[in-house]
Structure 1
């Protein structure tokens, strides 16, 4: 059997599917990356926001339409299935299987046995990992689920409460990846600041980073998804000072308005958030700050939009991502009166991203003349593309290099020019 895997959604989904790939390969099943040659398509779905749900459904229907032309099985797995299993079972008779939020080993066992329909309580954690990664970076899931009750967020509905993997299992996976050539380990969870509270009784991200930093090999560690309500000094210090950990702080604040933050169920107000970012930059001057903003949540007005714009201008984040609120059934915000149309929120989002582009351009140009380590990821003709610590994979920009260098190598690079999202660099020397 030849299986193709399509991943939709977040980095945690990608980590799950990379493990599934490796397990299926060990079982003698061929994984194909051109789905034209597949006998079965496994689609890892996302159920977080409306756009992701639409993309998941469109992808399912797109592959199901191919069944008219060839013998093909289409199996949907993951978050959308967990959240809407009964509805999908009823409304998608053309699909061949539905498997909810289930560890990769269980998914592989179900596929091998021909049991393509499976739904139970969400099981988001697995300790045994089997990885085959072709990219220089890899996402490693340290936990999943969430104990927070943010008014807009549907994640706890289909992922359940926060659960952590053991340090030992994470160490084992990272060691395996590094031995196989991975150069950047990207730690992900729904809220990485809460890592370990369920199994060790306290926040254990600093301890995890210390342990991973002692592993042999030339590699970076990057941490994503730091919930602003739970960041403390130990976390700030461990990310900024721990060996091999990049001083990159991904802190999604969602809004720069106290009124909207209250509607969202967030704890820290804008004054506390501003102080948090001041502390990060004071403790770690070379830090990169990234955030995510949602516009259009119930309670949003022209006044709150202006407050968010002012907050962004005041803090001057290095990187910013944004999306527009969509009502999610089952959440506290669902059914609340909409105080701003989606179209208006989209217009404001375009304006916000323009503001951020101006900020990023100024901050990036300050790096001209400085020299940084760059992880090479791709080759284009006689040139290469990579990332310095300033850029997370897939969501940020990159460094364009003036020479052809093999992907997976580290080089020292001097920034010769800079734009809103990217650097242009000149290689000083290649060292790993």
Structure 2
């Protein structure tokens, strides 16, 4: 059967589906890049927040329509949305040919003909055998999944299960394979990368993993995402001194008001968060700090929001993503009083991003004239689209340079700065 794989949701799903494609091939199927050539589609879904759930449902319905014109076309759905709402989905959308929850790629490929495979005990991690990736210079590698934290706004532990790590040697094998195939950036993902290894080795082992990956031969970057601020240790910070590990710290603080942080079940208060960020910047003056903020959490007052704004202005994050609170029925926060009206939350979000855009513009302007290694991802109409170490693909800014596409790292002098993006010129090598 010819399968087209549609990936929705987070980079962990991208990593999962790269493994899944190889498993499908192992069991005698083909993977195609054009849905018009496909006999079936596998849709990897997200079940985290309302907007993600809507996107997943819409994608399922679009492909159900396809079955009306192609009676033999099959639609299979996998992932978090299925694990969370499997029974309801089977009942409401009977046209789907198979539902797969949070199970391993091996189990999906092996049981693709089954109507339903939703385990009561989610299995979000797997051993490496092979993977099939898109023709880009970066790759996401999942080092762990699931979660044991108790953030009040989050339902992920309910459908992803407890935190589970992959073995160091298995991850090393996967990264070695990717580097040999020409990948120039390896992006490590988990629900919380700071928790890596606790379940397997009885202690945080992210620093040991980074050392093992840094020792792999080749010219490539290592980027770490999703570091819970409450669990970043001095040992983890020290591990970022390894030559291939980018000084890019993805630390979702979620808020800047101590009262809201406490309601969110976060441990560190705003002073401790600032102290952590200052420690990182003191050790690595060129470090990039990226964060995520939730606006409109239940009980967030104007005073709380003002504290958040003050916090952001004092810390001056290099990268910031902000999101409206999503009221999930199984989350602890669902039962909290004093919900914030959506229009009020949206106004606050807009103001926050306006302030952050000013900070970003000021920081970008200081980069004019400086030279960076740039990894190009694409070429559009004679313009190269690339990134420095400061930017993760798909979520941060880009560097635009005139020229023809070249693989690998290239020296670029920055000549122009916008709110989030940069322009530059290639330096002759």
Asked whether the 8 Å contact 1:388–1:399 carries over to 2, the reply is yes
In terms of mean alpha carbon deviation, does 151-160 or 123-132 score higher?
Answer: 123-132
Correspondence list, 1:150-165, <5 A: 150-165=151-166
1:12 aligns with 2:12: yes
> CA 1:338–1:59 in structure 2 vs 1: closer, same or farther (change >3 Å)?
farther
**Counterpart residue number, 1:418:** 417
1:330 aligns with 2:330: yes
Correspondence list, 1:129-148, <5 A: 129-133=129-133, 134-148=135-149
Q: Take 1:132 and 1:38, find their aligned partners in 2: how far apart are those partners?
A: 17
Aligned-partner SS, 1:138: strand
Offset from partner CA, 1:243-288 (integer Å, 9 cap, x none)? 2000000000111111111111100000000111110100110100
> CA 1:59–1:338 in structure 2 vs 1: closer, same or farther (change >3 Å)?
farther
Q: Take 1:383 and 1:99, find their aligned partners in 2: how far apart are those partners?
A: 41
Q: Take 2:94 and 2:268, find their aligned partners in 1: how far apart are those partners?
A: 46
RMSD: 1.1
1:225 aligns with 2:226: yes
**Counterpart residue number, 1:317:** 317
Count of aligned pairs: 426
Q: Take 1:46 and 1:6, find their aligned partners in 2: how far apart are those partners?
A: 12
TM-score between both structures, scaled by the size of structure 2: 0.97
Q: Take 1:422 and 1:289, find their aligned partners in 2: how far apart are those partners?
A: 16
**Counterpart residue number, 1:243:** 243
Correspondence list, 1:104-115, <5 A: 104-111=105-112, 114-115=113-114
List runs of 5+ in structure 1 lacking aligned partners.
none
Q: Take 1:419 and 1:156, find their aligned partners in 2: how far apart are those partners?
A: 39
Offset from partner CA, 1:42-101 (integer Å, 9 cap, x none)? 010101000001111111111111111112111110101001111111111111111000
**Counterpart residue number, 2:364:** 364
Asked whether the 8 Å contact 1:5–1:43 carries over to 2, the reply is yes
1:284 aligns with 2:284: yes
Aligned-partner SS, 1:202: coil
**Counterpart residue number, 2:213:** 212
Aligned-partner SS, 1:229: helix
Q: Take 1:210 and 1:24, find their aligned partners in 2: how far apart are those partners?
A: 33
Correspondence list, 1:97-108, <5 A: 97-108=98-109
In terms of mean alpha carbon deviation, does 88-97 or 421-430 score higher?
Answer: 421-430
Q: Take 1:17 and 1:116, find their aligned partners in 2: how far apart are those partners?
A: 20
Q: Take 2:273 and 2:26, find their aligned partners in 1: how far apart are those partners?
A: 47
Asked whether the 8 Å contact 2:258–2:270 carries over to 1, the reply is yes
Aligned-partner SS, 1:148: coil
Q: Take 2:428 and 2:83, find their aligned partners in 1: how far apart are those partners?
A: 49
> CA 1:230–1:429 in structure 2 vs 1: closer, same or farther (change >3 Å)?
farther
Aligned-partner SS, 1:329: coil
Correspondence list, 1:378-397, <5 A: 378-397=378-397
**Counterpart residue number, 1:170:** 171
Aligned-partner SS, 1:198: helix
In terms of mean alpha carbon deviation, does 84-93 or 43-52 score higher?
Answer: 84-93
Aligned-partner SS, 1:199: helix
Aligned-partner SS, 2:231: coil
Asked whether the 8 Å contact 1:2–1:29 carries over to 2, the reply is yes
Correspondence list, 1:395-406, <5 A: 395-406=395-406
Aligned-partner SS, 1:275: helix
| Aligned-residue offset at 1:338 | 3.6
Asked whether the 8 Å contact 2:27–2:110 carries over to 1, the reply is no
**Counterpart residue number, 1:43:** 43
**Counterpart residue number, 1:190:** 191
| Aligned-residue offset at 1:154 | 0.5
**Counterpart residue number, 2:92:** 91
List runs of 5+ in structure 2 lacking aligned partners.
none
Asked whether the 8 Å contact 1:141–1:187 carries over to 2, the reply is yes
Q: Take 1:261 and 1:66, find their aligned partners in 2: how far apart are those partners?
A: 46
Q: Take 2:31 and 2:425, find their aligned partners in 1: how far apart are those partners?
A: 38
Q: Take 2:328 and 2:171, find their aligned partners in 1: how far apart are those partners?
A: 33
> CA 1:326–1:140 in structure 2 vs 1: closer, same or farther (change >3 Å)?
same
Asked whether the 8 Å contact 1:301–1:339 carries over to 2, the reply is no
**Counterpart residue number, 1:271:** 271
Aligned-partner SS, 2:245: coil
Asked whether the 8 Å contact 1:256–1:312 carries over to 2, the reply is yes
Correspondence list, 1:22-61, <5 A: 22-61=22-61
Aligned-partner SS, 2:230: coil
